[in-house]
């Protein structure tokens, strides 16, 4: 299955996994719509993609703002007259202990990681219904499958995301609408620089575990492979995959190891 000439809408496309997905799909000659909050970095990614594809549009959009999401969905549809694939990739992580984390910080995490993808998906479902086909990819996390220290609000948001999009899979309101949930572990991206801390301020540095994570190119390629196969779920992890296995089959060992993590 090739994505040549397919219209693909990617959120959080200015860096990390989103940027790498954009570059790889551009090389397949996809028609891209890239969305993010920061115009300068998004424009840079656009220029990189235009080296491979003749079609790459950008949308400056904050997925936590309902009016921007609705306007962005409408604009994205108008750009090409259809959307074949939506990749809900935008997200923010967390680095703070549960006992210290303010409720306002948890709300931030929920707005970006849960309500943002839900709002955009809801805004686009009528268009998918109109064309009677499509593909939705949501970048969740291994944190959506288990609780892990220093990520209480992030874990909660990703668990909610998992539940919402699994329901979309089971209901499948449009017969030819296929949904893939991606669960990465630690990936080599700059995501921890903007990670939310106890009071909502950014973490501002690279997490050592993130720095030694799976290369982002390898992660993006595995996501695209999962998309092609229309998989329901794609796990992209090393240690976290083992930890999940412990949780399912040896819970005491899972809790023992997890308590030592950060």
| Residue range 12-22, pLDDT digits in tens | 999 999 999 99
Task: Using alpha carbons, list the distances in angstroms from residue 128 to 42, 86, 165, 174, 179.
Answer: 26, 10, 15, 8, 12
| Residue range 232-260, pLDDT digits in tens | 999 999 999 999 999 999 999 999 999 88
Model confidence at 1: pLDDT above 90: no
Percent of the chain with pLDDT over 90: 97
CATH superfamily of 7-260: NAD(P)-binding Rossmann-like Domain (3.40.50.720)
Name the DSSP class of 192: G
**Residue ranges of the domains in the chain?**
7-260
Question: In terms of Cα–Cα distance, which of 108, 80, 69, 70 is closest to 7?
Answer: 80
pLDDT at 249: 97
pLDDT average, residue stretch 169-182: 97
Mean pLDDT score of the chain: 97
Angle at 229 between CA 228 and CA 230, to 5 degrees: 90
Least confident range from 27-41, 82-96, 152-166, 198-212: namely: 198-212
**Which residues are catalytic, by number?**
154
Is 0.75 topped by the overall pTM? yes
Model confidence at 262: pLDDT above 80: no
């Amino acid at each position: 299955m090739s994505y040549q000439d397919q219209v693909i809408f990617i959120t959080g496309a200015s860096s990390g996994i989103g940027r790498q997905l954009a570059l790889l799909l551009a090389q397949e000659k996809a028609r891209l719509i890239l969305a993010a909050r920061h115009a300068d970095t998004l424009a840079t990614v656009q220029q990189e993609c235009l080296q491979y594809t003749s079609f790459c549009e950008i949308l400056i959009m904050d997925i936590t703002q309902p009016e921007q999401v609705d306007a962005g969905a409408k604009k994205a549809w108008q750009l090409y007259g259809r959307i074949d694939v939506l990749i809900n990739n935008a997200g923010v992580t967390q680095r703070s202990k549960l006992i210290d984390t303010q409720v306002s910080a948890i709300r931030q995490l929920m707005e970006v990681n849960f309500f943002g993808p839900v709002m955009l998906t809801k805004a686009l479902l009528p268009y998918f219904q109109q064309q009677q086909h499509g593909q939705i990819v949501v970048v969740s996390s291994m944190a959506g499958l288990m609780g892990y220290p220093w990520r209480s609000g992030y874990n909660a948001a990703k668990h909610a995301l998992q539940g919402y999009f699994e329901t979309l899979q089971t209901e499948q309101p449009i017969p030819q609408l296929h949904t893939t949930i991606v669960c990465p572990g630690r990936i080599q991206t700059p995501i921890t620089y903007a990670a939310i801390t106890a009071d909502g301020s950014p973490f501002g540095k690279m997490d050592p575990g993130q720095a030694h994570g799976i290369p982002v190119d390898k992660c993006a390629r595995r996501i695209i492979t999962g998309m092609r196969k229309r998989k329901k779920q794609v796990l992209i992890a090393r240690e976290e995959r083992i930890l999940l296995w412990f949780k399912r089959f040896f819970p005491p060992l899972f809790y023992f190891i997890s308590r030592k993590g950060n």
